[in-house]
Amino acid sequence: MNQTCIRDVSKHVGQEVTIKGWLYNSRSSGKLMFPQIRDGSGIIQGVVFKKNVPERVWSDFEKLTQESSIIVRGNVRADERAPGGFELDVVDVEVVQIAEPFPITPKEHGVEFLMDNRHLWLRSKRQHAILSVRAEVIRAVRDFFDSNGFLLMDTPIFTPAACEGTTTLFEVDYFEDAKAYLTQSGQLYNEATAAAFGKVYCFGPTFRAEKSKTRRHLTEFWMVEPEVAYAELNDVMDLAEQFLTFIVQRVLENRRKELAELERDTSKLEKIAPPFPRLQYDDAVKMLQEAHDKGELEARFEWGGDFGAPDETYLSSQFDRPVMVHRYPTAVKAFYMKPDPERPELAMCVDVLASEGYGEVIGGGQRADDLEYLLKQIHAHGLPEESFDWYLDLRKYGTFPHGGFGMGIERCTTWLCGIEHIRETIPFPRMLYRLKP
Ligand code: 4AD
Ligand code: MG
């Protein structure tokens, strides 16, 4: 039994192979049947010729329903006309199970229905393509940091206090009357590991309890966060543009087929290369106000606020590559940001807005390294000082300039796939109204 997976059939042209999988789809024309067989690695079209197979094989195929599990034996033939370039001349089939009527059929379904059946929806070509791009993004992320001198540091998921603001935390009971919060970011711990190891990154699930329903929000998402000792804001921006370019290149190199399945216009991605435009917040505000005056943006943006989704979309659609907006007002950013020495009302931070209107994919910057300033910020943000004593220690024992950023894997995947909504970029999305399946 020459077992293979569909991805590798090209190595078996002219040979008889066994494929274990499911029936994706089938059409028939009396004496011929064309079952589409999928096995998770790909889809291949089978050809069953009534005249050439035993009666039982023909009648088994006639009984098969969508998603029936089957083990198929056949000869691999190269055929340019076949989808995928190869066909399987079926010799025999073993039926593992005739599936009950599959809820998801090739016709159109509403998105809520598909989300309720996410565990089954994952079997579609589109989901296969999107989640393969996601896996490629993750592989690229690890390769980039592992081969550029960064050490992986896993930071905790149970944390005693907020990192990104107190209103967006998931609280859990943590033994005798103590409370813990699911992490929003590994950054604060990363700052400690950066002092110990120089260049580090953490990568894991993060949690945000904002009651946001936008197409960019998940309550649970995966974030990768590099942190670099002695890096200043410009170094953080250099790193961000090299990093994003590397990921885009990798996906273009290895996932063309998937991008084609998604009908992604890759010419837009091909253009992505350093340097990315760097736009100071002040200038971004001017652009938004001009857009409003020209009638291109409904609401007039006032200096001092944080950008909303329509603002980010407008800004990022003005450039053919990701744009790095830096130096937002300190007041709208997290407590740990370093103030600009020349204009302390601005933070030394950067948001990278993906191209084609996709909005923020990266947020980061340089960290405040002055003990007095940080203490003031912790009080101003109403954070419990006792939870941060260890963090403040980093400013007592060899404080150092440092910075880094966080990138959401699903935001990045949404952009690279060119799709509408973030919910399809993680196998089982967690959102405001979705905890199942
Ligand atoms: O901008 P954020 O909140 O930054 C931080 O958490 C920093 N502590 C990171 C750092 O400097 N080490 O989040 C970083 C990125 C965003 O740019 C976005 O890609 C993603 O995380 N992100 C989300 N992705 C999906 N759903 C959400 N609710 C997200 N919130 C942030
Ligand atoms: Mg942000």
* Nearest CA residue ID for atom 21, ligand 1: 408
* Nearest CA residue ID for atom 20, ligand 1: 408
> Which parts of 294-423 fold into alpha helices (H)?
309-316, 371-380, 389-393, 409-417
**What is the 3 state secondary structure string of 87-143?**
EEEEEEEEEEECCCCCCCCCCCCCHHHHHHCHHHHCCCHHHHHHHHHHHHHHHHHHH
What is the residue-wise DSSP string for 194-240? HHHHSEEEEEEEEE------STT--SEEEEEEEEEET--HHHHHHHH
Going from the Cα of 407 to the center of ligand 2, the distance in angstroms, rounded, reads 9
Query: Residue 257: how many CB atoms within 10 A of its CB?
Result: 12
Atom nearest to 226 CA in ligand 1: 12
Going from the Cα of 351 to the center of ligand 2, the distance in angstroms, rounded, reads 7
Of 191, 161, 184, the closest CA to residue 369 belongs to 191
Q: Which ligand is nearest to the CA of 410?
A: 1
Judge if the upstream peptide bond of residue 274 is cis by omega within 30 degrees of 0.
no
Q: What is the pLDDT of residue 106?
A: 82
Residues in contact with ligand 1 by the CB-under-6-Å rule are 163-164, 185, 187, 208, 217-218, 221, 223, 225, 360-364, 404-408, 410-411
Judge if the upstream peptide bond of residue 101 is cis by omega within 30 degrees of 0.
no
Q: What is the pLDDT of residue 366?
A: 98
* Nearest CA residue ID for atom 29, ligand 1: 217
Q: What is the pLDDT of residue 29?
A: 87
Going from the Cα of 281 to the center of ligand 1, the distance in angstroms, rounded, reads 18
The pick from 137, 223, 360 for probing ligand 1's pocket by mutation, whose C-beta has the most ligand atoms within 8 angstroms, reads 223
Atom nearest to 363 CA in ligand 1: 1
Q: Report d(CA 437, CA 423) in Å as an integer.
A: 13
Q: Which ligand is nearest to the CA of 336?
A: 1
Going from the Cα of 195 to the center of ligand 2, the distance in angstroms, rounded, reads 24
Q: Report d(CA 10, CA 154) in Å as an integer.
A: 40
Q: What domains can you pick out in the chain, each with its CATH number?
A: 6-97 (2.40.50.140), 119-425 (3.30.930.10)
**What is the 3 state secondary structure string of 408-432?**
EHHHHHHHHHCCCCHHHHCCCCCEC
Q: What is the pLDDT of residue 166?
A: 61
> Are residues 338 and 348 in contact, defined by beta-carbon separation less than 8 angstroms?
yes
Atom nearest to 221 CA in ligand 1: 25
* Nearest CA residue ID for atom 27, ligand 1: 217
Phi, psi of 223 (to 5 degrees): -125, 140
Phi, psi of 180 (to 5 degrees): -125, 165
368-403 pLDDT tens trace: 999 999 999 999 998 889 889 999 999 999 999 999
Q: What is the pLDDT of residue 167?
A: 67
Q: Report d(CA 182, CA 175) in Å as an integer.
A: 15
Q: Which ligand is nearest to the CA of 226?
A: 1
59-96 pLDDT tens trace: 999 999 999 999 999 999 999 988 889 999 999 999 99
- Return the beta strands (E) in 230-336 as ranges: 278-280, 323-326
Q: Report d(CA 125, CA 217) in Å as an integer.
A: 24
Going from the Cα of 200 to the center of ligand 2, the distance in angstroms, rounded, reads 20
Q: Which residues of the chain have pLDDT under 50?
A: none
